[in-house]
Amino acid sequence: MAEKIGIRTATIVIKDNRLLLVNSKYSDGDYYLFPGGGLESNETIEEGAIRETLEETGVEIKIEKLIHINEFIYSNDWNKRSLTIFFLAKPISIRKNNLTDDGGKIKQVEWVDISKLDEIDIRPRILADILMKAKGDFDTISLNHSVDYKHES
């Protein structure tokens, strides 16, 4: 059977040592995510990341570099997975109109101090750990990869 792989983009937007996050509610709970989502057919991964961040948060961004790739595998069906490509980005300006709530999944958009990331449920967790370890020197973070599994009942 051919694999079903979804491609998503997301951004790690940092300003004044605070991180732009989306507080979300899903069937498996409430947690924080980096702004992002699926690609549209006529855009590159960078264009998708810029568009999704603007739609979800109202923040226009400038992409700085590719920083992380997360592979999300459904443990009961290894043929079903998604890849999320994360970019480090800087905010350019903020608009607060025409935001999406992603079908009710987005509860709130927040700027969270990086020193507080160990106090919240953020996914993928490894990115919070990488950002806290960088101690403000985010340019030194090199490209890395992680794998998460969704255990369905």
Task: Work out the end-to-end distance of the chain between its first and last CA atoms, rounded to an integer number of angstroms.
Answer: 22
* Residue 146 domain-assigned (yes or no): no
* Residue 147 domain-assigned (yes or no): no
- CB contact at 8 A, 10 and 35: yes
* Residue 119 domain-assigned (yes or no): yes
Model-level pTM greater than 0.75? yes
Q: What is the CATH number of the domain that holds 134?
A: 3.90.79.10
Per-residue model confidence (pLDDT) at position 36: 95
> Which domain range does residue 122 map to?
4-141
47-92 per-position pLDDT tens digit? 999 999 999 999 999 999 999 999 988 767 666 788 999 999 999 9
Q: Annotate the chain with DSSP letters as a single string.
A: ---EEEEEEEEEEEETTEEEEEEEEETTEEEEE-SEEEPPTT--HHHHHHHHHHHHH-EEEEEEEEEEEEEEEETTEEEEEEEEEEEEEEEEEE--SS---TTTTEEEEEEEEGGGGGGS-EESHHHHHHHHHHTT-GGGPPPEEEEEEE---
Taking 70 as the threshold, does the pLDDT of residue 145 lie above it? yes
Q: State the average pLDDT for the chain.
A: 88
* Residue 122 domain-assigned (yes or no): yes
Q: How many domains does the chain have?
A: 1
Tokens of 24: 């979300």
Distance (Å, rounded) from C-alpha 87 to C-alpha 25? 23
* Residue 151 domain-assigned (yes or no): no
